[in-house]
């Protein structure tokens, strides 16, 4: 049997990913992510910073290298450096990092117009930096910046460069499509040309996503013989970003059985969520593999087909990533969507009642209202005039204050079963103060509230909901994750309504 070729994965979320406009990771966030990426996601290497950037960046790299040295992983931590005499090397020394990814010029255009040097002069500078690094016990990989344009416009320069670099004590040659301009066909041709001509060199391919071709280009570069690839979590990166890790891993696993890799598929969703929080950049709901809605069937026909011999099955199963399939509720729902959601809630309805509830969900969808699974008991009670909604908990009264230069506060009275409780608290905002008062009441009852993991506010347009504000809160308990929704003309009140629904879902 043919052995599968191992592809090295280098994660550059902490270097190239941080080049996303508006993103800046703190030192502790960088440390936590480097640890997670190397020990749980199990990428082969992480690039954690560019040299010389800032004092905070130096502190972050010091923390990472201290941890990595203790964990025996120091050779997996990389820093981008420049051809700048001793400056980057001094920074490397101070940071404790032992692998540098030296940024050199991969196109004659960049070399001539940015560095204003001749190839010979550039090669001499590079040779000096590599030799000095070697003396400091620092290993070198070389980036050929703008390599893709170099292959198109000055291929003789690229070959001249590689003839030079193969004589140097370097470990890897990193081929960036710096501006994300390659087509898949070119990615294959260019990588294949170099892999064939320089069989002793190790080539990494580094894709950018300017034409949304990052994943396709990575596939073709690997097919052409690239030994490693560079990825970022959630596709973070300058401009349109880099090749997104979760998509690339899924594609390689499902479509390229001839290669293998160390990355743990089950960890991809977790790391994606953490990077979403640390970067402050929300993942689009339709982002493959990690987006909120990518395992949600909306159309009634699809939901129906899922229960009939799994007709809409594909290999991209949510369970591979620790996720679950769900069924949206709205105007495209059929009975199957409603049934699936009711099953999760442990509710059974007769065929006739199911039709009535389905009809109401469709009407609400027409009004642009979002219906969550946890809304269904309210819809049922409204349509069937039953008391299927638990009203164990009722928010009876509250006063919320907001004033200049004073902390917002809340006074709250709730009924839980037959007992009433009152509590005051402060918070960073009115809703935070409300939640703090609520948490105090629940801790008196020795009960823990689920964690609020997302809070989305929307002003639905059109229909009857013109002036209303909709708050959808995502909660995470020890056993599951769910959403509740509140609708009111006041934003805080809509959040409180969503919160009361959450309280009534608790056992």
| Active-site residue list | 15, 145
Q: Which residues between 96 and 135 bind ligand ACO (CB under 6 A)?
A: 103-104, 114-115
CB 323 → ligand ACO: shortest distance, Å?
32
For ligand ACO, give the closer residue by CB, 55 or 467. 55
For residues 9 and 504, what is the distance between their CA atoms, to the nearest angstrom?
46
**DSSP run (H or E) holding 46:** strand 45-50
- Give one word for 21, left, alpha or beta, with left for phi > 0 and alpha for psi -120 to 50: beta
In the list 48, 83, 336, 472, the residue contacting ligand ACO (rule: CB under 6 A) is 83
- Cβ neighbours for 376, distance < 8 A, ≥ 6 positions apart: 329, 338, 341, 342, 345, 347, 357, 361
Least separation in angstroms between residue 19's CB and ligand ACO is 6
Does position 145 interact with ligand ACO (CB under 6 A)? The reply is: yes
- Window of 46-54, 214-222, 336-344, 451-459 that interacts with ligand ACO by CB under 6 A: 46-54
Least distance to ligand ACO, CB of residue 62, Å = 17
486 binds ligand ACO, rule: CB under 6 A: no
Rounded CA gap, 487 and 411, in Å?
A: 22
Query: Interacting stretch for ligand ACO, rule CB under 6 A, among 48-56, 313-321, 373-381, 404-412?
Result: 48-56
Question: Which of 438, 436, 429, 432 has the alpha carbon at shortest distance from 402?
Answer: 429
Q: Where would I find the H helices in 105-154?
A: 108-110, 119-135, 147-153
Binding of residue 141 to ligand ACO (CB under 6 A): no
Stretch that binds ligand ACO, among 45-53, 193-201, 288-296, 479-487 (CB under 6 A): 45-53
Instruction: Name which of 377, 345, 385, 349 is nearest 361 in CA terms.
Output: 377
User: Cα(6)–Cα(102) distance, rounded to whole angstroms?
Assistant: 24
Q: Of 49-57, 195-203, 406-414, 484-492, which part binds ligand ACO (CB under 6 A)? A: 49-57
Q: In angstroms, rounded to a whole number, what is the distance separating the alpha carbons of residues 454 and 506?
A: 18
Out of 8, 29, 44, 84, name the contact with ligand ACO by CB under 6 A: 84
| Least distance between ligand ACO and beta carbon 145 (Å) | 5
Q: Is 69 in the site for ligand ACO (CB under 6 A)?
A: no
Q: Least distance (Å) from ligand ACO to the CB of residue 426?
A: 40
176 binds ligand ACO (CB under 6 A): yes
Q: What is the DSSP string of 332-357?
A: T--HHHHHHHHHHHT----HHHHHHH
For ligand ACO, the closer of residues 181 and 452 by Cβ is: 181
Taking the C-alpha atoms of 487, 491, 492 and 497 in order, what is their torsion angle to the nearest 10 degrees? 0
Contact 291, 285 (CB under 8 A): yes
Smallest separation, CB 331 to ligand ACO (Å): 45
Token representation of residue 105: 């010029």
Among 23, 32, 52, 201, binds ligand ACO (CB under 6 A): 52
Strand runs (DSSP E) across 87-220, as ranges? 99-105, 139-145, 172-176, 203-206
102/248 with CB nearer ligand ACO: 102
> Residue 126 or 472: which CB sits closer to ligand ACO?
126
Q: Find the shortest distance in angstroms from Cβ 16 to ligand ACO.
A: 6
- From 351, 336, 339, select the one nearest 300 (Cα to Cα): 336
Cα 492 to Cα 395: distance, rounded to the nearest angstrom: 14
Q: Judged by CB under 6 A, how many residues of this single chain contact ligand ACO? A: 16
The stretch among 6-14, 40-48, 79-87, 240-248 that binds ligand ACO (CB under 6 A) is 79-87
Give 148 or 471: the residue with its C-beta nearer to ligand ACO.
148
Which of 172/360 has CB closer to ligand ACO? 172
Does residue 178 interact with ligand ACO by CB under 6 A?
yes
Quote the radius of gyration of the chain (alpha carbons, Å): 28
Nearer to ligand ACO, 208 or 373 (CB): 208
In the complex with ligand ACO, the residue whose CB is nearer, 18 or 369, is 18
Bridge partner list, 411: 399, 424
Shortest separation between residue 7's beta carbon and ligand ACO, angstroms: 21
8 Å CB contact between 77 and 43: no
From residue 394, how far is each of 416, 496, 500 by CA, in Å?
7, 11, 7
Q: In this structure, are residues 365 and 358 in contact, taking their beta carbons and an 8 Å threshold?
A: no
Q: Which residues bind ligand ACO (CB under 6 A)?
A: 16, 19, 50, 52-53, 80, 82-84, 103-104, 114-115, 145, 176, 178
């Amino acid at each position: 049997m043919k052995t599968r070729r191992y592809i090295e994965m280098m994660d550059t979320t902490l270097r190239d990913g941080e080049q996303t406009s508006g993103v800046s990771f703190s030192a502790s966030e960088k440390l936590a992510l480097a640890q997670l990426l190397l020990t749980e996601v199990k990428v082969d290497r992480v690039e954690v910073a560019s040299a010389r950037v800032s004092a905070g960046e130096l502190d972050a790299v010091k923390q990472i290298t201290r941890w990595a040295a203790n964990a025996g992983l120091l050779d997996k931590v990389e820093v981008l450096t420049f051809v700048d005499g001793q400056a980057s090397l001094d920074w490397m020394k101070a940071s404790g990092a032992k692998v540098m990814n030296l940024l050199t010029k991969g196109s004659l255009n960049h070399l001539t117009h940015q560095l204003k040097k001749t190839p010979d002069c550039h090669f001499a500078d590079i040779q000096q930096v590599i030799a000095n690094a070697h003396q400091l016990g620092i290993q070198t990989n070389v980036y050929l910046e703008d390599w893709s344009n170099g292959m198109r416009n000055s291929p003789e320069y690229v070959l001249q460069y590689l003839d030079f670099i193969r004589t140097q004590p370097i470990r890897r040659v990193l081929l960036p499509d710096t501006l994300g301009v390659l087509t898949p066909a070119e990615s294959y041709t260019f990588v294949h040309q170099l892999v064939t001509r320089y069989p002793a060199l190790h080539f990494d391919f580094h894709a950018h996503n300017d034409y949304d071709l990052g994943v396709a280009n990575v596939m073709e570069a690997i097919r052409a013989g690239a030994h490693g690839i560079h990825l970022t979590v959630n596709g973070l990166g300058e401009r349109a970003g880099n090749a997104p890790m979760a998509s690339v891993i899924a594609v390689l696993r499902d479509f390229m059985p001839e290669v293998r890799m160390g990355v743990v598929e089950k960890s991809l969703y977790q790391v994606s969520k953490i990077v979403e929080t640390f970067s402050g950049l929300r993942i689009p709901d339709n982002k493959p593999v990690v987006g909120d809605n990518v395992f949600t069937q909306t159309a009634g026909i699809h939901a129906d087909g899922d229960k009939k011999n799994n007709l809409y099955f594909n290999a991209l199963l949510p369970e591979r990533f620790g996720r679950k399939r769900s069924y949206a509720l709205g105007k495209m729902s059929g009975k199957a969507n409603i049934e699936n959601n009711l099953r999760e809630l442990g509710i059974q309805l007769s065929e006739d009642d199911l039709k009535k509830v389905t009809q109401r969900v469709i009407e609400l969808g027409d009004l642009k209202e979002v219906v969550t699974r946890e809304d269904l008991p309210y819809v049922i009670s409204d349509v069937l005039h039953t008391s299927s909604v638990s009203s164990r908990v009722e928010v009876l009264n509250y006063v919320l204050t907001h004033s200049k230069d004073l902390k917002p506060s809340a006074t709250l009275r709730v009924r839980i079963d037959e007992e009433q409780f009152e509590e005051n608290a402060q918070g960073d905002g009115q809703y935070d103060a409300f939640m703090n008062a609520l948490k105090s009441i629940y801790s008196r009852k020795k009960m823990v509230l689920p964690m609020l993991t997302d809070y989305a506010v929307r002003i639905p347009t059109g229909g009857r909901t013109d002036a209303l504000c909709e708050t959808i809160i995502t909660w995470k308990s020890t056993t599951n994750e769910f959403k509740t929704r509140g609708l009111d003309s006041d934003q805080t009140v809509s959040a409180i309504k969503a919160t009361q629904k959450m309280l009534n879902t608790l056992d």
